[in-house]
Amino acid sequence: DCHQYTNRSCEECLKNVTCLWCASSGRCVEYPVRRVLPPAELCELRSARWGVCWVNFEALIIAMSVVGGTILIMLGVCCCCCCCKKKSKKQVSEGFPVFSEPDKDEERAAREREKRRVRQEERRAEMKSRHDEIRRKYG
């Protein structure tokens, strides 16, 4: 079916999506669907056209690689950003200092002071009870 467009034009050949145009030889051949890339004996990558006449397979592979690499890098950056946000939220909940708005820092500092004061009061009460017990024991 594709061979009838040999020695005609690229546009005529590529009207059928199963056809591959080889610009160097002017042949129109069946696209080898079992292989991703056409074999070199069929047509060189820089001469092979499929889908549109103005893009060869070599440029298509390079463009797809760049686009795919860019998408992978963007996904990696997004994952890192999400992990960092989760980590900073976890650190705030555990009391580690994280740069944030002044109001939040002041509130956190006030909560920390209150916690320390309560713990100190508990320790004082415990020490007082121990001392009282020792005083009772030894008179």
Measure the N-to-C terminal CA separation of the chain; round to a whole number of Å.
Answer: 114
pLDDT band at 38, cuts 50/70/90? Answer: confident
Sorted by where each begins, the domain ranges of the chain are 3-63, 101-138
pLDDT of residue 2 exceeding 80, the answer is yes
pTM above 0.75, yes or no: no
pLDDT of residue 70 exceeding 70, the answer is yes
For range 41-46, the mean pLDDT: 87
